[in-house]
Structure formats: C-alpha cells, structure tokens
Amino acid sequence: MTTNIGVLFRNNEKLVVPFFFFLRKSMSDNPLRVFALDNGSSDSTLQLIKSNLTEKDVLITSQQNRGISKGRNIILNKIREVSDEYQNLILLDSDVFIARRYSFDNMIKMLEDNDAGVVFGRTIAFDPQNVGFTENSNGYCFVLINKKVFDVCGVFDERYEMFYDDTDLDKRIIDSNMSRLFCAESFAIHAWGSTVTSGSEKSRREQCTNDDKKRYNEKWGIKT
C-alpha cells in the first residue's frame, strides 16, 4: 500500500533539496507518495519543489499563506480526491530530515500491530538560535496518523494559524481513548524554527504563538 506523506513549504528554499534528499534516502518497503503544499512562497521554493517531485507525487499550490492547520486540511482533502481509499498519513515539517532508513516502515508496523491513533517518530531538534541540539517529539513534525483519527476526532481546527492545531487534535485523540505511541527506531533531525527565527517572520511567529495559545485555552476552558 502506498504511504502518503504530507508536507507544507513556505519560503524555505534552502531546505527543499536536503528535505527531499533525505526523504528519498530513507527507503521503504512501501511506495511513497508526497503531497507537497507550497503555502504562498515568494522565493524559489515552489520551483525547487517541482524539480524534486516524481510523477506519482502531488503538488498543491496556494497564492497566499493559508496557515498551518488549514494547509494540513488542504492536504487531507487532496488525498481524499486522488486516493482509491482514504489512507493513513505521515506528516512531516519541511525542516525535518529523515536520518534512519525504514523509519516510515517501522512507524507503520507499530501503528498496525497496535491499532494506535498516532505514532510519533524520534527527533533531535537543532535550535538555530541557541546553536544546540535537544531531543524531543515537538508536536506533529514527524508523526503517522491513523485514518480513523480523522473519522472519530475530526480534522485540524483552522482557527489556529501556526501553533496549537496539533496540540488540539492530540487532546481530542486522548479524549477518544486512542493510543499514542513513540517509535524510537524512526529517527529524524529537526532544524526547528529555521524559517521563522528572524526579522518579520520572527515577530509574526511570536504573535501567532500568543494568539493561538489564547485560542486553545479559551476553547478548552484552561485558565491562565
């Protein structure tokens, strides 16, 4: 069965080639199909994506930045359009580089053997501001999502622009008593925040962090 991989790109031209290089080197017993959404890039990101896709991959373009949660839902809708059946989805951030072969196969086996809701891959995050490494799972940057999650819990809440959409879905998964597993054999390097750590993008990131956190707390009745 084909493994669907969804990834959003936006103004990160320096990361496109290494992203696809490590993705193709990861190898898999199942064919991979990438659903790549260019989220309103103004640099050469879109052209680089096109040159790195295969015939079976799917390119989705947007003239404007749709945000992360809406972008992820756009990918989900596209999978429904082109797939013979609605399948499980691996979400990757565009600054995540697969570092171990058969990482996807290991995650898929764990999900199928345990009928899990989600399986997280192991990431080592590189923080370009502090120039250091830290091990974390950092949200849904490298995760396999069971198709039944979207049937039971719904899709990503599009009220979140940049953050907390994965935290929100994760809470719904927990509330639905679906298991959340961690696959140590699936490993990637995460250049965390590498596209939004300076200039206007940094300011926008900070504002979105505050706004999305407020939306999350209000939705779930969390007092701060």
Out of 10-24, 78-92, 129-143, give the one with best mean pLDDT: 10-24
Mean pLDDT is lowest, of 34-48, 59-73, 139-153, 200-214, for: 200-214
Residue range 115-125: mean pLDDT, rounded = 94
Residue range 91-112: mean pLDDT, rounded = 96
Residue 203 confidence (pLDDT) above 50: yes
- pLDDT (0 to 100) of residue 204: 77
Residue range 41-50: mean pLDDT, rounded = 97
Domain containing 165: what range? Answer: 3-220
Mean pLDDT is lowest, of 28-42, 76-90, 94-108, 150-164, for: 76-90
Q: How many CB atoms lie within 10 A of CB 4?
A: 24
- pLDDT (0 to 100) of residue 25: 93
CA–CA gap between residue 121 and residue 107 (Å, rounded): 7
**Confidence band, pLDDT 50/70/90 cuts, at residue 199:** very low
CA–CA gap between residue 46 and residue 62 (Å, rounded): 10
Residue range 12-38: mean pLDDT, rounded = 94
**Confidence band, pLDDT 50/70/90 cuts, at residue 194:** low
In total, how many domains does the chain have?
1
* Tokens 């849904």 found at: 140
- DSSP structure class, residue 221: T
pTM: 0.92
Residue 86 confidence (pLDDT) above 70: no
H or E segment and range at residue 136: strand 132-136
* 57 closest CA partner among 77, 32, 74, 38: 32
Strands 118-127 and 142-145: antiparallel
**Confidence band, pLDDT 50/70/90 cuts, at residue 200:** very low
* 49 closest CA partner among 78, 12, 75, 80: 12
* CATH at residue 98: 3.90.550.10
- pLDDT (0 to 100) of residue 198: 42
What b/e sequence results for 169-196 when a residue is b if at least 16 CB atoms lie within 10 Å of its CB, and e otherwise? bbeebeeeebeeeebeebbbbbbbbbbb
Residue pair 106/79 in contact by the 8 Å Cβ criterion: no
